[in-house]
């Protein structure tokens, strides 16, 4: 089974950035991608020929058990974006 995820983002700064923000954006921003999904178990009901999947229920909370899977890490690099910014930007007031 193959899966595909499209991840798009846009960044907009609506005020004059501080030196700290600029320095922070020069470093890579690291985003960890997680997937959460219910836990399944194979169950053969009485009189059934085949097993079927059922969601495992947590007896304490009476909610479905959930497994959290780390799907990877995404690094966002704002360096090129900052280099393209004008030296003396104009800001619209709202």
Highest mean pLDDT among 5-9, 45-49, 59-63, 87-91: 59-63
Q: What is the pLDDT of residues 22-81, one digit of tens each?
A: 777 777 777 788 888 899 999 888 887 888 889 999 999 999 998 988 888 877 777 777
Are 68 and 35 a contacting pair, CB within 8 Å? Answer: yes
Place of tokens 């003396």: 88
HSE, CB side, 13 Å, CA atoms: give it for residue 76: 15
Query: φ and ψ at 82, to 5 degrees?
Result: -70, -40
């Amino acid at each position: 089974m193959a899966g595909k995820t499209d991840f798009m983002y846009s960044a907009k700064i609506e005020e004059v950035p501080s030196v700290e923000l600029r320095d922070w954006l020069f470093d890579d921003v690291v985003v960890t991608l997680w997937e959460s999904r219910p836990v399944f178990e194979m169950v053969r009901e009485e009189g059934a020929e085949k097993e079927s999947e059922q969601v495992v229920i947590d007896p304490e909370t009476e909610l479905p058990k959930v497994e959290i899977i780390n799907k990877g890490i995404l690094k966002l690099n704002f360096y090129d974006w900052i280099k393209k910014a004008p030296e003396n930007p104009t800001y619209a007031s709202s």
